[in-house]
Amino acid sequence: MNVFRTDLFKDKVAFVSGGTSGINLEIAKHYARLGAKVAVMSRSQEKVDKAIAEIQAEGGVAVGYAADVRDFDAVLNAVEATVDSLGKLDIVISGAAGNFMCPAEALSPNGFKTVVDIDLNGTFNILRASYDYANAGCSMISISAPQSTGAYWGQAHVSAAKAGIDMLTRSLAAEWGPKNIRVNAIVPGPIEGTEGMERLSPTPEMVAMVKNSVALRCYGSKQNIADMATFLASEAASYVTGAVMYCDGGQVLAGGGVTHAYAEQQAKAQ
């Protein structure tokens, strides 16, 4: 159900990294339904084409580019192409991420580096490339994760990267505020029907444990995150910057996802 004015983002242009599947695609679709012209970016041209087709099938305006967030020049080209084709840049989502479960003692240096490169360095690349083209009033939103505050078994690489995103959010908000560029982050809790939860909670027992760790005792929906991203990109959030906002059903209240029982289940699922 849409609770927002349907022309909320008329004449706005949004760029969504990782916008070809899961949570980020839902954000792109929601923005398009509210009138924004959207650009999606991820590595796979096939996924880019499919996402564009899905948004257009709903009547939205969409373009897309295949690029890796680890390649600054490729990111810059995608941002420039977006501004060339759609005219400007009002909203930026940095949502591309990589994740796999692996206990730290089994993680190779390259495995650790890969996730930090995609999640943290990739977020810097997206926001830095966008900065030169961002309109005054631009809203930049990064997608963080509960791992940025809680310690989760097999997630040291992700925790390091996402905690970095939270501080990058605050730092850029402070530096870019005078240009009226707002920089915020969303921390989704466990979200139904996503690649992320497929990877982290592959068994029914683990799903039950995760739900039990959430105050509201359920998974969230992709729409829940799209709604938060809509608020943050809208005029309603014009005095909100540097905020790391939880949309997690209260999962953070329990301090994170590590329990011995859960870690045992994760180890068995490897």
Residues at the contact surface with ligand NAP, assessed by CB under 6 A = 18, 20-24, 42-44, 47, 68-70, 95-98, 118, 143, 145, 188, 190-191, 194-197
116 binds, among ligand NAP, ligand HXC, none (CB under 5 to 8 A by kind): none
* 5, 10, 179, 199: residue in contact with ligand HXC (rule CB under 6 A): 199
Residue 260: which residues within 8 A CB-CB, separation 6 or more?
A: none
Taking a C-beta distance cutoff of 8 angstroms, is the pair 237, 38 a contact? no
User: What does each C-alpha distance from 150 to 91, 108, 160, 253 come to in angstroms?
Assistant: 29, 22, 11, 10
Give the residue with the Cβ less far from ligand NAP, 68 or 205: 68
* 3, 105, 110, 136: residue in contact with ligand HXC (rule CB under 6 A): 110
- For residue 121, the 8-state DSSP code is I
* 190, 214, 241, 249: residue in contact with ligand HXC (rule CB under 6 A): 190
* 78, 145, 181, 237: residue in contact with ligand HXC (rule CB under 6 A): 145
- 105 binds ligand HXC, rule: CB under 6 A: no
Give the residue with the Cβ less far from ligand HXC, 108 or 204: 108
Coil, helix or strand at residue 100: coil
Alpha helices in the chain (DSSP H): 22-33, 45-57, 72-86, 109-116, 122-131, 156-176, 195-200, 204-213, 222-233, 260-269
24 binds, among ligand HXC, ligand NAP, none (CB under 5 to 8 A by kind): ligand NAP
Angle at 25 between CA 252 and CA 254, to 5 degrees: 5
- For residue 119, the 8-state DSSP code is I
185 binds, among ligand HXC, ligand NAP, none (CB under 5 to 8 A by kind): none
164 binds, among ligand HXC, ligand NAP, none (CB under 5 to 8 A by kind): none
Q: Minimal distance in Å, beta carbon 152 to ligand HXC?
A: 8
Q: In this structure, how many other beta carbons lie within 10 angstroms of the beta carbon of residue 99?
A: 20
| Residues within the interface to ligand HXC (CB under 6 A) | 97-100, 102, 108, 110-111, 114-115, 145-146, 190, 195-196, 199-200
